[in-house]
A and B are shown apart, each in its own frame.
Chain A
Amino acid sequence: MSATAQSESLRQWLESDAPQSRRQAVYGNVWRGFLAFVKNPAALAGLIIIGFLIFVAAAAPLLSFGHSPYEQDLTHRLAAPNVTHWFGTDELGRDIFSRVVYGARVTLTIVFLVSVVVAPIGLAVGTLAGFLGGAVDVVLMRITDIFLAFPRLVLALAFAAALGPGIENAVIAISLTAWPPYARIARAETATIAKSDFISAVTLQGASTARILLKHIVPLCLSSVIVRLTLDMAGIILTAAGLGFLGLGAQPPTAEWGAMVSAGREVILDQWWVATVPGIAIFIVSLGFNLLGDGLRDVFDPKSSS
């Protein structure tokens, strides 16, 4: 078969109204979701931005074209953007462009780590509360509500202050205040799903609570959690940048965008690019996640008006 004929039949297989296997149904859904998603130009822009972020982080050594983000050159400090240093140099003579590029790695690390911490905690608390109900539900949800009522940045500040600077501590600090919404979402979904017949069926077959939760309930909550995570990600990045700005989070000489803005603060009036450029990077990445999150929400939950 020629290439076009192959892609044609693949497309037919994906879009078939009567899928023959579970795999076909799942892939078909993913394909349909993808099509709906890319129809939305804003969502597509978001996807491209995030894709670009991942690419930059992965290819950082290549993209910095030989400049090191750590190499100091005090004779050329605070240089304006020029041919060698596209974004100029900072107060220690380091190349800002490569520092911005490497900063993408830090941002991505934070995004990944926070997701990996927050989603399981939220899912665990929420599904347990929703499934077991009763006293467990009340207690867990009260705790969740209490955490939900706390101011995010201030509390993350306090945590990070106590735990000391460093990227892991910043992640912990942020995660401690970011998990409640996911518990809420998971609980709401679980409470609805738990009443379904198929859960009763599986219980009658002898499945343990853990098995029911992990194999049956969590997968169904995942899409809402992912959408919410993407939407929250911008806020998390901004909070992390705020912590970096205050000297918490990734420590020098690691290139972290928030810290770079802070370093450029002293010289903002004369060498404005030192603080401005990293901030633009933060803005673009947050924007990307917001657009992506909006797009995902429209695909998964079109009822919500944006």
Chain B
Amino acid sequence: MAVAVPTPPDGSKLEEGQATQFSTLSPGQRAAGTFKRFGLFLATLVITFVGLTAITFFIGRFIPVDPVLAVVGDHANHDVYEKTRLAMGLDRSIPVQYLLYLKKVLSGDLGESVMTSKPVLSDLLAFFPATFELATLATIIGVLVGVPVGVWAGASKGRWPDHLVRVIGLFGYSTPVFWMGLVALFIFYGKLGWVGGTGRLDVGYDDIVSPVTGVLLIDSAMQGQWEIFRNALSHLILPGLILAYFSLAYIARMTRSFMIEQLSQEYVTAALVKGRSFWGAVWHHAFPNIMVPLITVIGLSYASLLEGAVLTETVFAWPGLGRYITQSLFNADMNAVLGGTLVVGAVFIGINAFSDFLYKVVDPRLRNS
């Protein structure tokens, strides 16, 4: 990493301080580097997504249910069956079938849902905002609570804040999210009545707010429907907090771990030597060093919340992507299940890859290499 002093062939030493040896890149070169990294990011993304489609194709092809029968029904006669089979391309070889499938996917055709009789893609788009609302709220809380708590725990190594965060993290890694949702629903809705029940709104409040963004909180606020806003909030808060708990458990634990690592570094001691207070060193020196890996952690947390949402939405009858997938599961609607898997998977992969890319772009140590 450090630049070595070059020695000219005649053995004399170049004086240190000469500008020739620095690896500073011009802004143009730096931009080119970022560009290259972005290109790599896109390429990885594409390859991984293609891999995912291969998996969903594979799953779809090898289900025990005859896909033709699923379309034509049990009572269709032989000709209809054959025609449909040809139309579905099932007579072609597997690789060709895959390419056909890929083509359909890329053009947005994920098949039709048996359950809703609508194209799967339009179903997914309709249900996406609810999941987005939930995951985003949970991540915001997770970051706002998890980061400061993690910093505090890391800086208080060995004392009670440290142990507290470790316990919180441990519980977060051991609790089944669906169970926690159920128990919370029982306690805070069933017994205490503090929050709304399942679903996004109480029955009777549907269809009052016209969906603009799909995010109820925003839409109702925009339209001045404050009673709806409050009701939506009371329904959002419990599933949101539950997911937020898992998010903050993870974020706090990682932040703590990063913090402990940085605080043992020499530059922190150097800051103290200069006259910094301990907490001054924590926030002005150590924290900037963990901001970058934290971005990756937050990205990973958001992505994993999408997964956690699957079960949470089921418990809270929250009309999002997760619930759509599980409902399709119960209805043996393979198109919807696979389509949902593809979309959730794509978002998951995308967020992870983007966090990774962002990390490499923002770290000054890697900026100029």
Q: So, do A and B actually touch in the complex, CB under 8 Å? A: yes
Chain A residues in contact with chain B, CB under 8 A? 142-143, 145-147, 149-155, 157-159, 161-164, 234-235, 238, 241-242, 245-248, 258, 261-262, 264-265, 268-269, 272, 275-276, 279, 282-283, 286-287, 290-291, 305-306
Assess A154 versus B178: contact at CB under 8 Å? Given A234-B173, A286-B173: no
Q: What is the distance, in angstroms, from A272's C-beta to the closest C-beta of chain B?
A: 5
Contact with A along B165-186 (1 / 0, CB 8 A): 0100011011111111011011
Question: Do the beta carbons of B179 and A282 come within 8 Å of each other?
Answer: yes
Instruction: Tell me, rounded to whole Å, the shortest Cβ–Cβ distance linking A235 to chain B.
Output: 8
Shortest A104–chain B CB gap in Å is: 16
Query: Which A residue's beta carbon lies closest to that of B338?
Result: A158
**Out of A155, A242, A245, A279, which one reaches B345, CB within 8 Å?**
A155
Q: Say yes or no for B349: interface residue by CB 8 A criterion.
A: yes
A51 to B353 alpha-carbon distance, docked (Å): 40
Chain A residues near B334: list those with CB within 8 A: 161-162
Assess whether B84 is interfacial by the CB under 8 Å rule: no
State which of B51, B186, B332 has its C-beta within 8 Å of the C-beta of A146: B51
> Is the pair A283, B174 in contact by a Cβ cutoff of 8 Å?
yes
B325 contacts A287, C-beta separation under 8 Å: no
Top 8 nearest A-B pairs (CB, nearest first) are A279-B179, A146-B51, A286-B174, A287-B174, A151-B348, A162-B63, A269-B190, A158-B341
Residues in chain A near residue B51, CB distance under 8 A = 143, 146-147
Asked whether A149 and B349 contact (CB < 8 A) given A155-B55, A157-B310, A282-B179, the answer is yes
On B, residues with C-beta under 8 Å from A are: 47-48, 51-52, 55-56, 59-60, 62-64, 166, 170-171, 173-180, 182-183, 185-186, 190, 257, 260-261, 303-304, 306-308, 310-311, 314-315, 325-326, 329-330, 332, 334, 337-338, 340-341, 344-345, 348-349, 352-353
Docked Cα-Cα span, A157 to B334, in Å, equals: 11
The reply to whether B311 and A245 contact each other, CB–CB distance below 8 Å, is yes
- CB < 8 Å: which of B47, B178, B310, B329 contacts A261? B178
A245 to B334, CA, bound (A): 19
Could you tell me if B182 and A151 are in contact, using CB atoms closer than 8 angstroms? no
Q: A147-B51, A283-B179, A287-B170 are in contact. List 14 more A-B contacts (CB 8 A).
A: A158-B55, A158-B337, A159-B59, A162-B62, A163-B64, A234-B173, A241-B179, A242-B311, A258-B176, A265-B182, A275-B182, A276-B179, A279-B179, A279-B180
Check if A151 sits within 8 Å of B261, measured CB to CB. no
Asked if A155 and B310 make an inter-chain contact with CB atoms under 8 angstroms apart, the answer reads: no
| Contact between A261 and B182, CB atoms less than 8 A apart | yes
Verify B337–A290 contact, CB threshold 8 A.
no
User: In whole angstroms, what is the CA distance A235 to B344 when docked?
Assistant: 19
Say whether B183 contacts A279, CB under 8 Å: yes
CB of B344 within 8 A of CB of A154, answer yes
Complex: how many Å from CA A149 to CA B185?
A: 32
Residues of A within 8 A of B55 (CB): 150, 155, 158
**A162-B47 Cα distance, complex, nearest whole Å:** 24
A153 pairs with B310, CB closer than 8 A: yes
